[in-house]
Amino acid sequence: MPRVRAMTRSRMKLSQPDSEGTRSHPIEFEVRPWGSFSTLEEGPGYKIKRLVVQPGCRLSLQKHRHRAEHWVVVAGTATVIKGNRRLTLRGRQCTVIPRQAWHRIENRGREPVVIIEVQHGAYLGEDDIIRKQDDYGRIEPRAASREPSRRSKKATRAASREPRKRRIGK
């Protein structure tokens, strides 16, 4: 068994809090029309983000093909749309957003809403967002065509007279 040496407090490097009181050093920071997010950590199959939703703003109504999300509210009051349900979450309250579930965060208050989001799944890229509704004009014209139709693949090909594509190898 390998020996583990204990670190004394004087040897540990502690970060100084920023103006909002956080001590982490984000890997990535992005500004969005609704606020911003910081990627705090990522590894195989997971990513941790800090979302800040400004007062009067909301994210797009969206879903993800490849990931689920776990949200913990750390500041403010968030209105969360999750499928057909509307939830009000305050500090220390949380919810799980399953893969393929329509969801949105809204900030109807006067203070920023801060949420820690843990994403988990096979693919965690930002391009795994399918938007149904967006206040900022970010829905792609082809977004509706990405949605699976109720018709089978065979019926869709026959209707469009598209030849079947063969996949060679992997």
In a domain, 84, yes or no: yes
Tens digits of residue pLDDT in 128-165: 999 999 999 988 765 444 544 444 444 444 444 444 44
Count of domains forming the chain = 1
In a domain, 154, yes or no: no
Tens digits of residue pLDDT in 73-123: 999 999 999 999 999 999 999 999 999 999 999 999 999 999 999 999 999
In a domain, 97, yes or no: yes
In a domain, 115, yes or no: yes
Find the helix or strand (DSSP H, E) in which 159 lies.
Answer: helix 153-160
In a domain, 161, yes or no: no
In a domain, 90, yes or no: yes
Domain with 116, as residue range(s), is 28-135
Q: What is the CATH number of the domain that holds 53?
A: 2.60.120.10
Listed in sequence order, the residues at least 6 apart from 81 whose beta carbon sits closer than 8 Å to its beta carbon are: 61, 102, 103, 104, 105, 106
Residue 99 burial by Cβ neighbours in a 10 Å radius (0-12, 13-18, 19+) = middle
Task: Name residue, tokens 């096979």.
Answer: 122
In a domain, 91, yes or no: yes
